[in-house]
Structure 1
């Protein structure tokens, strides 16, 4: 059974040994170049996607619009992505022991920000990786930003596993 990562966790890419990524710092914040008119009435938040190279060779990384999908709320509706304010990684050579980070500015209804799912698919040296999924929340309580306020990482992972198992069982019934 596939289990999504909790926001902040590193995920290895088997197809490129030594390469790993994480979604982190999911937090409320206004975009640097002003709000998009289409986001009127929505709450802005931002998240970071960091790719780290722990191998012995350089990788050419592409992490652009369309490779990061942000879903919010219990129904998994698409968040508004502010492409103008977001910063992507376009053809950057990530050398050993180096990182590259994309910053995505998004917006959604405040009530839906308690559940955020982020799916990432990297393009490395003109080859696509498998998709990876992280789940968390915006502006959570006393813990690190982006973690679920009412549960520890282990509790959230357990809840997600149980939910996915139930969904799989319903699909086969």
Structure 2
């Protein structure tokens, strides 16, 4: 059974030796070029996608619009991705022991930011890689000033809930 990666986890690609990727630093943040009018009433957040080359040769990497999908909330609604403010990786040669990072800005209803799913499909050396999914959340509307949970607890709890749900769905005899 396939379980999604938790935001912050590295994921290696078998088809490209030494290449690994992760989605990390999921946090609320205002875009550097100002808010888009289409995001009125929504809460902006930022996520980073880092590609690292631990292999022996350079690899050409591309991560642009259309290769990223961000879904929020329990129903998986599409987030508004601010293409104008996001910084993509456009045909960059990642040399051994080097990294390249894309910074993506998106917006969604504040109530849905407790569950954020980010799906990435890299293009490496003019070939498409398999899609990878990371899940996490932002505690924007959770807790009070006196009771703050550790940052890792919310992510670990969400990952456990998703794993339990997927196991329940995979078991024979369940509807």
TM over 0.5: yes
| Cα drift, residue 138 of structure 1 | 1.9
Q: Which residue of 2 aligns with 1:124?
A: 124
Relative to the length of structure 2, the TM-score reads 0.89
Say whether the 8 Å CA contact 2:53–2:98 is kept in structure 1. yes
Which residue matches 1:70?
70
Over alpha carbons, which structure has the higher Rg?
Answer: 2
In the other structure, the counterpart of 1:8 is 8
2:113: which partner in 1?
113
Aligned-pair Cα RMSD in Å: 2.0
1:3-152 alignment to 2 at 5 Å? 3-139=3-139, 143-144=150-151, 147=152, 149=154
Q: Which runs of 5+ in 2 are unaligned?
A: 141-147
Alignment TM-score, normalising by the size of structure 1: 0.90
Number of residue pairs matched by the alignment? 168
1:83-140 Cα deviation digits (max 9, x unpaired): 0000000000000000000000000000000000000000000001100000001257
Query: Is the contact made by 1:80 and 1:108 (CA closer than 8 Å) also made in structure 2?
Result: yes
- The 1:139–1:29 alpha-carbon spacing in structure 2 relative to 1, beyond 3 Å, is farther
Structure 1 residue runs of 5 or longer lacking an equivalent are none
Match of 1:159 among 158, 161, 171: 161
Distance 1:47 1:170, change over 3 A: farther
Q: In 1, distance between residues paired with 2:83 and 2:130?
A: 23
Distance 1:71 1:41 in 2: 17
SS at match of 2:26: strand
